[in-house]
Chains A and B, each alone.
Chain A
């Protein structure tokens, strides 16, 4: 079955779902019905994505149209296929999650309707075959996401977080429009296929300008440092499934945009373009994880880790472009493949983690790691599922994160093939940065899992936590997906490779050996491993201690005594590592980045009579907000003062403005 019809089906399903929740959002059955529809749509999208991967680019479907705005152009491409499939997966998981998570009500109904429409808009972005379609869909998607974040507008910071999202998204949009306009003008076409075909006609300077505009514009959405500030602001305030959608998919649309320009529209380009992209990616990865380490709010923490993962993906893309510039088509295609695989992986486990963050918040009423603890005993299901996601995102075998990061590293390690020493060194530097990032990521997620789930509960709420009635199916499905993407990596990669051939024209297939389930990165003589066998091996290794225990269990009766605590009267929860103290070493090592301000206060700090509790606070300086955005904001406020006079609030005046604008437009058209 061809992909486009499936996508139509998905679109229809989501539209119906939106209507259903609008109508019946106040009742549980209504929400269920909507979610079923939404899930069906997700399934359809998943199938559509996969089939478009298998069947390559479809021809462009054009519908309606007018002289002014052009026509609706749709096309299923294999590049977008990965994202469409991911969109489907996220939609299905969320649909399974929502009914138990949200309380019925009109607000909920509205929110879910907006959410389903956002799915629809995202699909339209991915299926857009023409510039206008793409831009309209993109803007719609952005506005709908803005509404998603505004689910509970009266709470603190919600309006602020949502505004950060909107402001940066719109700024990005302007740049994206500019980029497309340049290409459209230079290639005299509004159709992506045609633009891609005629791209070589565009003068180099314009091509680079267009690419840089696109990189920045989509960078805002993807969260490239320093364009990332909206993520940690918007994610915590959105509902769990909302932030899961944001991190799982919306930021990926930014990545899709970058990939669209880098690999489909303007593949040919100078090396510096790739190196620049790579550098941006590496910086994003490192800074993202470092900020994640300084967060106590689980969702902010996850948001920063999203930034890190985006950085990894973009690094892979940048390296790929660099290799293209040096004629290494094989590595070019391979790194694109690895990057896209990481997109799929991150989409799956990050969605999982955000959904579980929502579960934890519902069970304990807080997202502050330092108010949690000991949840593993109280929420076993959640802890198991989260553990799978954590292994994945910490890139530990045998989960899927490891596979894609390994592939990316293998690609980067072959930088020497560029032949240019300087570039080789730069690529290796990027690899080193990613190495640091990977290490810190493990550190961060030992903390991110250990502090809330292990140890003793730090608050009464945490001690009373229970997962009864909390959603399971959605996250569980994603956990299964994570495992599948790891164990089945060779097969999936083979399919992906075949699909990407339509984009890259490079046949990677012979160097992926699905026969013996082994992955060989691009060049046969370099390296290779089999995620499948690795999994089997690890399971076997883990089984050994268990067997030894069973075999050699002491015959004599053993004495079970509590942990040795130095003879304390009672071991108190305050005596265990907290999230912030766990990451203190990084704060000390990288204090140039954090610029922490420390304050110690207590009831009486007289050296002779110290008494009362200690208040110890160490605040990191928000460098980008303070030194990059605040000045810009000031400038805009200053400009706003000039524009204010023309805003009288008189309707006639505004009608006149409209008339004048239309007049100017016609005059321009006439010229």
Chain B
């Protein structure tokens, strides 16, 4: 996440804008606190409702994220992780800020879906074109919409139970192999 946005964001989980290593170490220590049980609050900042459907399905029998110690909560007061979908409509800024500030620290923010990652909408008068500049994002989950499996992986990465994979991917297929 961008350090400036961290500074800009009041009450964000203690995250000094210092070197990358310390930030990374801090992230891991925070994530470790959430390993066993984590409560998720979702926030729709202008999605097309497909991301919401996939998130709802996380609790469905096929995926059942409760078995991994994740739970949904309607109250940001009880939430440790904010799952944000949509391109962050400007008209929604107040609600988004209030929701984030209502969460007790330490807290994680997961940007969910291509809109939230700046894919579908460019910044303009209607939207910020991605949530990065409004909220301090910890984990980014691509996909339009991200399938429940992708969401599961993202959540597990967020709490440091899975290693991030995309960093090592090249998206290059040389020659015909594989």
Contact = CB atoms under 8 A, between A and B. Distances in A.
- A–B touching in complex (CB under 8 Å): yes
Interface of A: 559, 561-562, 564-569
Contacts of A565: 98
Contacts of A564: 75-77, 98, 102
A561 B99 CA distance: 10
B94 A569 contact: yes
A559 B95 contact: no
Contacts of B76: 564
Contacts of A566: 95
Contacts of B11: 559, 561
Nearest to A559: B11
Interface in B87-140: 94-96, 98-99, 101-102, 104-105
B105 A559 contact: yes
A556 to B, nearest CB: 10
A562 B102 CA distance: 8
**Chain A binding site: helix, strand, loop or mixed by DSSP?**
loop
Contacts of B95: 566-569
Given A564-B75, A564-B76, A559 B104 contact: yes
Contacts of B99: 567
B94 A561 contact: no
A571 to B, nearest CB: 10
Nearest to B95: A567
Q: Which 4 A-B pairs have the closest CB atoms?
A: A567-B95, A564-B102, A567-B98, A561-B101
Nearest to B102: A564
Task: Give the residue among A561, A562, A569 with the most B Cβ atoms within 10 A.
Answer: A561
Interface string B63-81: 0000000000001110000
23 contacts: A559-B11, A559-B104, A559-B105, A561-B11, A561-B101, A561-B102, A562-B98, A564-B75, A564-B76, A564-B77, A564-B98, A564-B102, A565-B98, A566-B95, A567-B94, A567-B95, A567-B96, A567-B98, A567-B99, A568-B95, A568-B98, A569-B94, A569-B95
A569 B92 CA distance: 9
A564 B101 CA distance: 9
Contacts of B104: 559
Nearest to A569: B94
A519 B123 CA distance: 76
Contacts of B94: 567, 569
A561 to B, nearest CB: 5
B160 to A, nearest CB: 22
A567 B11 CA distance: 17
Contacts of A562: 98
A559 B100 CA distance: 12
A406 B153 CA distance: 64
B35 to A, nearest CB: 21
Contacts of B75: 564
A565 B98 CA distance: 8
Contacts of A561: 11, 101-102
A487 B35 CA distance: 55
A632 to B, nearest CB: 58
A558 to B, nearest CB: 9
A570 to B, nearest CB: 9
B46 to A, nearest CB: 13
B89 to A, nearest CB: 12
A563 to B, nearest CB: 9
Nearest to B101: A561
Contacts of B96: 567
A506 to B, nearest CB: 60
Given A564-B102, A568-B98, 16 more contacts: A559-B105, A561-B11, A561-B102, A562-B98, A564-B75, A564-B76, A564-B98, A565-B98, A567-B94, A567-B95, A567-B96, A567-B98, A567-B99, A568-B95, A569-B94, A569-B95
A397 B8 CA distance: 51
Contacts of A568: 95, 98
Contacts of B98: 562, 564-565, 567-568
Nearest to A570: B94
A561 B100 CA distance: 10
A530 B60 CA distance: 59
Task: Give the residue among B95, B96, B102, B105 with the most A Cβ atoms within 10 A.
Answer: B102
B72 to A, nearest CB: 16
A13 B41 CA distance: 72
A568 B95 CA distance: 6
Nearest to B76: A564
Task: Give the residue among B96, B98, B101 with the most A Cβ atoms within 10 A.
Answer: B98
A562 B75 CA distance: 14
A561 B76 CA distance: 12
Nearest to A565: B98
Contacts of B105: 559
B68 to A, nearest CB: 27
Nearest to A560: B11
A564 B11 CA distance: 15
Interface string B11-38: 1000000000000000000000000000
Contacts of A559: 11, 104-105
